Amino acid sequence: MATLNCLGTLVDLSTPKVMGIVNVTPDSFYDGGKSFSSENILRQTGRMLDEGATFIDIGGYSSRPGATDIAVSEETERVLRAIELILHHFPETIISIDTFRSEVARAAIHAGAAVINDISGGDLDARMMETVAELNVPFIMMHMRGNPKTMTRLTDYQNVTIDVIRNLSDKVRKAHAVGINDVVIDPGFGFAKTAAQSFELMRNLELFRCFEVPLLTGISRKSFIYKTLEISPNDALNGTTCMNTVALIKGSSILRVHDVKEAVQCIKLLENLKF
């Protein structure tokens, strides 16, 4: 039975769980600016928890392609404000901090966050893995190449599935070597991947179960969905639910989403099918 130890709270992943996205940035691709005020942070978080989110993932640095770089101090200020607000009003919340900077991660965990979610899997900050091990929290390691400014130019793979598996294999090995106990992997849909490559990863997603660690899928309203359907991110909920269903069938343990209610319903229906 897969579990994550989130500062003493054991989360059982034998039934998949949902991670709700709260971006405290003005420029995220879908919800930029929507959850920036204190009132909106609390309203969005409360709704997601009511709808069944197990985790709330707070991000203070937009990772959309071409996003503007910001100082560590600004990112830290954004996320600490959100963490303190949420834990004051919803003290049992399991908060994940979405950052690739070890300094931000450390400050967030000290403020009450319980999981570190790094889009670079430790590649963009050499101190990240040692920081995670020291803090003794779960580490979500995503695959990407480059950074948000350069990743769209780094999509040349011999075989995207094999190359991503090899990269994540190295990351898992390094994480265990430094003493990280709870590792989650994320193939990084849309990060240094074309739409065709994201579909290929989804087609082969069950192969990522070879790591015998939980698998997170983050595809909510992403461009490979809405551009394929020739719609906007605002209209991509149905497409997201379709792809989340495929991800669950192929073994995903966590769905990272903007729309919690629909993801929870998806899990409930598939659990009742009892594959």
160 is written with which tokens? 């995207």
| Tokens 């990772």 found at | 63
Q: Which of 127, 145, 222, 268 is catalytic?
A: 222
Query: Which H, E and C letters describe 88-157, residue by residue?
Result: HHCCCCEEEEECCCHHHHHHHHHHCCCEEEECCCCCCCCCHHHHHHHHCCCEEEECCCCCCCCHHHCCCC
Bridge partners of residue 3, in order along the sequence:
12
Our answer to whether residue 222 is catalytic in this structure is yes
List 257's β-bridge partners, or say none: 20
Active site residue 256: yes
Q: What are phi and psi of 247, to 5 degrees?
A: -60, -40
By C-alpha distance, which of 69, 80, 136 is closest to 103?
A: 80
The residue from 47, 149, 256, 268 that is catalytic is 256
Query: Which residues are CB-contacts of 7 (< 8 A; sequence separation ≥ 6)?
Result: 114, 137
The answer to whether residues 250 and 205 touch, using CB atoms and an 8 Å cutoff, is: yes
**Which residues carry out catalysis?**
222, 256
